[in-house]
Amino acid sequence: MPHEPSARAEDADAALARAAAGGSAEAFSELAARHKGRVLGIAARFARGWHELEDLGQEIFLRAWEKLRSFRGDAPFEHWLSRLAVRRCLDHLRLEKHRRAEAELDPIAWTLADAAPARESEVRAAKEILDRALARLPDEMRLVLTLVELEERPAREVAELTGWSEANVRQRAHRARARLRKVLAEMGENLP
């Protein structure tokens, strides 16, 4: 379940954000430490392994440092940072899609990328199937399913993070679920 920051935490974050925007690396380090789990939780849904997750997390915090002066404080810092993280993850997905398209031109790279080690548990196998199915969806569908279904965020919060209306979030989620069911059915026909 998503959590709402307390008023005390919001005030502390706002004070740290003002100090960091003024150039305090120590204040920014404190903000990063406070929100690292949340940011990595968002990024984990989009990264393909621990190394990529670390890189994506660093990129998100670097972007936050660069854009900190744009934090106005009319919403909690955690929401501002989450929105920034989601947008950076969407950029990451687009870049990865481009890289995968280039890799498909190289049969050796394609074979290595597609060859996954056998999973020992049913849970891991199910997660792998879901990840593969999600990877076959358009970026926006993958994003909305990740936020609504996997992270269980309410439509209002997803709308704030993406800039879409709540009705648009619900409509996109509905269409994405239907497409995911279709992809899973197609994959089921090809599974051993």
Specify the CATH class of 1-106 in words: mainly alpha
Query: Residue 112: is its pLDDT beyond 50?
Result: no
Q: Do residues 110 and 99 make contact, with C-beta atoms less than 8 angstroms apart?
A: no
Domain boundaries, the chain: 1-106, 116-192
- Predicted confidence (pLDDT) per residue in 146-181, tens digit: 888 878 888 898 888 888 999 999 999 999 999 988
Q: Which residues of 69-90 are buried (b: 16+ CB within 10 A; e: fewer)?
A: eebeeeebbbbbbbbbbbbbbb
Higher pLDDT, 135 or 192: 135
The reported pLDDT for the residue numbered 105 is 52
Kindly give, in sequence order, each residue whose CB lies less than 8 Å from that of residue 1, ignoring residues fewer than 6 positions away. Answer: 152
Q: Do residues 78 and 19 make contact, with C-beta atoms less than 8 angstroms apart?
A: no
Query: Residue 23: is its pLDDT beyond 50?
Result: yes
Reported confidence tier of residue 5, pLDDT bands at 50, 70, 90: low
What architecture (CATH level 2) is domain 116-192? Orthogonal Bundle (1.10)
The reported pLDDT for the residue numbered 9 is 77
